[in-house]
Protein backbone atom coordinates (compact mmCIF):
# COMPACT_ATOMS: atom_id res chain seq x y z
CA UNK A 1 0.00 0.00 0.00
CA UNK A 2 1.34 3.44 -0.90
CA UNK A 3 2.13 5.81 1.96
CA UNK A 4 1.33 9.52 2.13
CA UNK A 5 3.03 11.95 4.46
CA UNK A 6 1.00 14.61 6.22
CA UNK A 7 2.29 17.32 8.53
CA UNK A 8 0.73 18.07 11.89
CA UNK A 9 1.36 20.84 14.33
CA UNK A 10 2.61 19.90 17.79
CA UNK A 11 -0.78 20.24 19.46
CA UNK A 12 -2.61 18.00 16.93
CA UNK A 13 0.11 15.38 17.28
CA UNK A 14 -0.20 15.39 21.08
CA UNK A 15 -3.98 14.96 20.89
CA UNK A 16 -3.70 12.08 18.42
CA UNK A 17 -1.03 10.43 20.51
CA UNK A 18 -3.33 10.56 23.56
CA UNK A 19 -6.21 9.02 21.59
CA UNK A 20 -4.15 6.28 19.98
CA UNK A 21 -4.75 2.83 21.45
CA UNK A 22 -2.04 0.28 22.10
CA UNK A 23 -1.13 -1.52 18.84
CA UNK A 24 -3.19 0.95 16.81
CA UNK A 25 -1.46 2.71 13.94
CA UNK A 26 -2.02 6.41 13.28
CA UNK A 27 -3.77 5.42 10.02
CA UNK A 28 -6.16 3.15 11.94
CA UNK A 29 -6.70 5.86 14.54
CA UNK A 30 -7.64 8.44 11.90
CA UNK A 31 -10.08 5.98 10.26
CA UNK A 32 -11.60 5.22 13.68
CA UNK A 33 -12.09 8.92 14.43
CA UNK A 34 -13.53 9.59 10.97
CA UNK A 35 -16.01 6.72 11.44
CA UNK A 36 -17.12 8.21 14.76
CA UNK A 37 -17.70 11.51 13.03
CA UNK A 38 -19.47 10.00 10.01
CA UNK A 39 -20.19 6.25 10.20
CA UNK A 40 -21.29 6.18 6.56
CA UNK A 41 -17.67 6.65 5.46
CA UNK A 42 -16.89 3.00 6.09
CA UNK A 43 -20.25 1.49 5.16
CA UNK A 44 -20.14 -1.26 2.50
CA UNK A 45 -23.82 -0.71 1.67
CA UNK A 46 -23.12 2.91 0.74
CA UNK A 47 -19.80 2.07 -0.87
CA UNK A 48 -21.59 -0.34 -3.22
CA UNK A 49 -24.83 1.64 -3.59
CA UNK A 50 -25.59 2.01 -7.26
CA UNK A 51 -24.36 -1.42 -8.40
CA UNK A 52 -27.93 -2.20 -9.57
CA UNK A 53 -28.73 1.32 -10.84
CA UNK A 54 -27.86 0.67 -14.48
CA UNK A 55 -30.55 -2.03 -14.67
CA UNK A 56 -33.20 -0.35 -12.57
CA UNK A 57 -36.11 -1.58 -14.74
CA UNK A 58 -34.83 -5.11 -14.71
CA UNK A 59 -34.34 -5.01 -10.94
CA UNK A 60 -37.97 -3.80 -10.60
CA UNK A 61 -38.99 -7.06 -12.28
CA UNK A 62 -36.57 -9.09 -10.17
CA UNK A 63 -37.98 -7.46 -7.03
CA UNK A 64 -41.46 -8.46 -8.14
CA UNK A 65 -40.25 -12.05 -8.60
CA UNK A 66 -38.63 -11.97 -5.14
CA UNK A 67 -41.90 -10.67 -3.64
CA UNK A 68 -43.88 -13.39 -5.39
CA UNK A 69 -41.46 -15.97 -4.05
CA UNK A 70 -41.73 -14.54 -0.53
CA UNK A 71 -45.52 -14.44 -0.71
CA UNK A 72 -45.66 -18.07 -1.82
CA UNK A 73 -44.17 -19.34 1.46
CA UNK A 74 -46.60 -18.42 4.19
CA UNK A 75 -46.58 -19.06 7.92
CA UNK A 76 -49.78 -21.05 7.45
CA UNK A 77 -47.74 -23.81 5.76
CA UNK A 78 -46.12 -24.58 9.12
CA UNK A 79 -48.12 -27.12 11.10
CA UNK B 1 -30.24 -0.53 16.06
CA UNK B 2 -31.88 -1.14 12.73
CA UNK B 3 -32.60 -4.17 10.55
CA UNK B 4 -33.10 -3.72 6.81
CA UNK B 5 -35.62 -5.67 4.76
CA UNK B 6 -34.65 -6.88 1.27
CA UNK B 7 -36.65 -4.15 -0.51
CA UNK B 8 -34.61 -1.46 1.29
CA UNK B 9 -31.28 -3.13 0.47
CA UNK B 10 -32.21 -3.43 -3.22
CA UNK B 11 -33.41 0.19 -3.22
CA UNK B 12 -30.05 1.40 -1.89
CA UNK B 13 -28.15 -0.75 -4.41
CA UNK B 14 -30.38 0.72 -7.16
CA UNK B 15 -29.33 4.13 -5.83
CA UNK B 16 -32.89 5.13 -4.99
CA UNK B 17 -32.10 8.62 -3.72
CA UNK B 18 -34.86 8.75 -1.11
CA UNK B 19 -33.57 5.53 0.49
CA UNK B 20 -29.90 6.54 0.32
CA UNK B 21 -30.71 9.86 2.01
CA UNK B 22 -32.73 8.21 4.79
CA UNK B 23 -30.09 5.51 5.22
CA UNK B 24 -27.39 8.15 5.73
CA UNK B 25 -29.61 9.85 8.30
CA UNK B 26 -30.14 6.67 10.33
CA UNK B 27 -26.43 5.78 10.02
CA UNK B 28 -25.62 8.92 11.96
CA UNK B 29 -28.28 8.15 14.58
CA UNK B 30 -27.71 4.49 15.29
CA UNK B 31 -25.04 1.93 14.49
CA UNK B 32 -24.71 -0.78 13.44
CA UNK B 33 -27.41 -1.39 10.87
CA UNK B 34 -27.99 -5.08 10.22
CA UNK B 35 -29.04 -7.29 7.29
CA UNK B 36 -30.17 -10.91 7.43
CA UNK B 37 -29.00 -13.94 5.52
CA UNK B 38 -32.65 -14.31 4.38
CA UNK B 39 -32.43 -11.02 2.48
CA UNK B 40 -29.11 -12.05 0.97
CA UNK B 41 -30.65 -15.33 -0.24
CA UNK B 42 -33.50 -13.40 -1.86
CA UNK B 43 -31.04 -11.18 -3.73
CA UNK B 44 -28.98 -14.22 -4.79
CA UNK B 45 -32.28 -15.68 -6.02
CA UNK B 46 -32.68 -12.50 -8.08
CA UNK B 47 -29.36 -13.10 -9.83
CA UNK B 48 -30.82 -16.40 -11.10
CA UNK B 49 -33.67 -14.58 -12.83
CA UNK B 50 -33.72 -16.24 -16.31
CA UNK B 51 -34.27 -12.97 -18.21
CA UNK B 52 -31.31 -11.36 -16.47
CA UNK B 53 -29.02 -14.38 -16.63
CA UNK B 54 -29.65 -15.19 -20.29
CA UNK B 55 -29.78 -11.67 -21.72
CA UNK B 56 -26.90 -10.12 -19.76
CA UNK B 57 -24.57 -12.90 -18.59
CA UNK B 58 -21.51 -10.62 -18.31
CA UNK B 59 -23.45 -7.98 -16.41
CA UNK B 60 -24.82 -10.59 -13.98
CA UNK B 61 -21.29 -11.81 -13.33
CA UNK B 62 -20.06 -8.27 -12.59
CA UNK B 63 -23.00 -7.53 -10.29
CA UNK B 64 -22.59 -10.84 -8.44
CA UNK B 65 -18.88 -10.11 -7.91
CA UNK B 66 -19.57 -6.63 -6.56
CA UNK B 67 -22.40 -7.92 -4.38
CA UNK B 68 -20.13 -10.67 -3.00
CA UNK B 69 -17.49 -8.08 -2.10
CA UNK B 70 -20.09 -5.97 -0.31
CA UNK B 71 -21.34 -9.02 1.60
CA UNK B 72 -17.79 -9.95 2.60
CA UNK B 73 -17.20 -6.44 3.98
CA UNK B 74 -20.52 -6.44 5.83
CA UNK B 75 -19.69 -9.85 7.25
CA UNK B 76 -16.33 -8.54 8.48
CA UNK B 77 -18.26 -5.82 10.31
CA UNK B 78 -20.54 -8.53 11.82
CA UNK B 79 -23.61 -6.90 10.32
CA UNK B 80 -25.17 -10.01 8.77
CA UNK B 81 -27.36 -11.96 11.15
CA UNK B 82 -29.75 -14.90 11.14
CA UNK B 83 -32.17 -16.62 13.50
CA UNK B 84 -30.65 -17.39 16.89
CA UNK B 85 -32.08 -19.32 19.84
CA UNK B 86 -33.75 -16.32 21.52
CA UNK B 87 -35.16 -15.17 18.16
CA UNK B 88 -36.58 -18.69 17.63
CA UNK B 89 -38.53 -18.43 20.89
CA UNK B 90 -40.18 -15.22 19.66
CA UNK B 91 -40.76 -16.74 16.21
CA UNK B 92 -42.60 -19.68 17.77
CA UNK B 93 -44.87 -17.27 19.64
CA UNK B 94 -45.52 -15.25 16.48
CA UNK B 95 -46.29 -18.34 14.38
CA UNK B 96 -48.77 -19.53 17.01
CA UNK B 97 -50.48 -16.13 17.22
CA UNK B 98 -50.65 -15.72 13.44
CA UNK B 99 -52.23 -19.16 13.11
CA UNK B 100 -54.67 -18.52 15.94
CA UNK B 101 -55.77 -15.28 14.28
CA UNK B 102 -56.00 -17.00 10.89
CA UNK B 103 -53.77 -14.30 9.46
CA UNK B 104 -50.84 -15.89 7.60
CA UNK B 105 -47.94 -13.74 6.43
CA UNK B 106 -44.82 -14.68 4.45
CA UNK B 107 -42.46 -16.82 6.51
CA UNK B 108 -39.51 -14.48 5.83
CA UNK B 109 -41.55 -11.56 7.21
CA UNK B 110 -42.15 -13.56 10.39
CA UNK B 111 -38.41 -14.36 10.62
CA UNK B 112 -37.45 -10.69 10.21
CA UNK B 113 -40.13 -9.67 12.71
CA UNK B 114 -38.95 -12.20 15.29
CA UNK B 115 -35.31 -11.09 15.01
CA UNK B 116 -36.32 -7.42 15.28
CA UNK B 117 -38.50 -8.02 18.35
CA UNK B 118 -36.01 -10.28 20.10
CA UNK B 119 -33.01 -7.99 19.52
CA UNK B 120 -34.97 -4.73 20.01
CA UNK B 121 -34.15 -3.51 16.52
CA UNK B 122 -36.26 -1.24 14.35
CA UNK B 123 -37.16 -3.04 11.14
CA UNK B 124 -37.09 -0.87 8.03
CA UNK B 125 -39.24 -2.05 5.14
CA UNK B 126 -41.59 -0.89 2.40
CA UNK B 127 -44.05 -3.71 3.11
CA UNK B 128 -46.83 -2.04 5.10
CA UNK B 129 -49.48 -4.75 4.77
CA UNK B 130 -47.66 -7.68 6.34
CA UNK B 131 -45.70 -5.81 9.00
CA UNK B 132 -48.74 -3.83 10.15
CA UNK B 133 -50.48 -7.19 10.54
CA UNK B 134 -47.51 -8.48 12.54
CA UNK B 135 -47.43 -5.37 14.74
CA UNK B 136 -51.14 -5.83 15.43
CA UNK B 137 -50.24 -9.23 16.89
CA UNK B 138 -47.02 -8.21 18.65
CA UNK B 139 -47.01 -4.58 19.64
CA UNK B 140 -43.35 -4.57 20.71
CA UNK B 141 -42.33 -4.82 17.04
CA UNK B 142 -40.69 -1.55 16.05
CA UNK B 143 -41.11 -0.91 12.36
CA UNK B 144 -40.42 2.04 10.09
CA UNK B 145 -41.92 2.24 6.60
CA UNK B 146 -39.94 3.94 3.81
The pLDDT value recorded for residue A32 is: 80
Alpha helices, H only, chain B = 6-13, 17-29, 37-47, 50-55, 57-76, 85-101, 107-118, 128-137
Q: Which of B122, B127, B136 is nearest to B108 (CA)?
A: B127
The pLDDT value recorded for residue A39 is: 66
Q: Running along chain A, 79 residues long, what does each successive block of 10 average in pLDDT?
A: 88 93 89 75 90 88 92 81
The overall pTM is greater than 0.90: no
The pLDDT value recorded for residue B121 is: 96
DSSP class of A74 = B
Q: What chain B residue is nearest to A43 in terms of C-alpha separation?
A: B74
Q: Give per-residue pLDDT as tens, B34-75.
A: 999 999 999 999 999 888 888 888 888 999 999 999 999 999
Contacts within 8 Å (CB) and 24+ apart, B51-56: B51/A58, B51/A61, B52/A55, B52/A58, B52/A62, B56/A55, B56/A58
DSSP class of B126 = S
**Chain A interface residues facing chain B, Cβ-Cβ under 8 Å?**
38-40, 43-56, 58-59, 61-63, 65-67, 69-71, 73-78
Contact A52 B74 (CB under 8 A): no
Using an 8 Å CB-CB cutoff, list chain B residues near A40.
23-24, 27-28
The pLDDT value recorded for residue A79 is: 61
**Do β-strands B2-4 and B122-125 pair in parallel, antiparallel, or remain unpaired?**
parallel
Give percent above pLDDT 70 in chain B.
100
Min Cα distance B89 → chain A (Å) is: 15
Residue B5 has pLDDT above 80, yes or no: yes
Q: Give per-residue pLDDT as tens, B107-121.
A: 999 999 999 999 999
* Other C-beta atoms lying within 10 Å of the C-beta of residue B8: 26
Residue B87 has pLDDT above 80, yes or no: yes
ipTM, interface predicted TM-score of the complex: 0.89
| Alpha carbons B142 and B16: distance in angstroms, whole number | 23
The pLDDT value recorded for residue A1 is: 67
CA B12 to chain centroid, in Å, comes to 12
Amino acid sequence: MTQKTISLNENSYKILKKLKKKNESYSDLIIRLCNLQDPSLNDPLLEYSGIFSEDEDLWEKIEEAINNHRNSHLTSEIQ
Amino acid sequence: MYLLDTNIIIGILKLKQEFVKKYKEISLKSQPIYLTTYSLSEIYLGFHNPEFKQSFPKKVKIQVNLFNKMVKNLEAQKRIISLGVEDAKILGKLLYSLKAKGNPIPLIDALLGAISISRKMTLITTDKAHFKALKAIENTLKVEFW
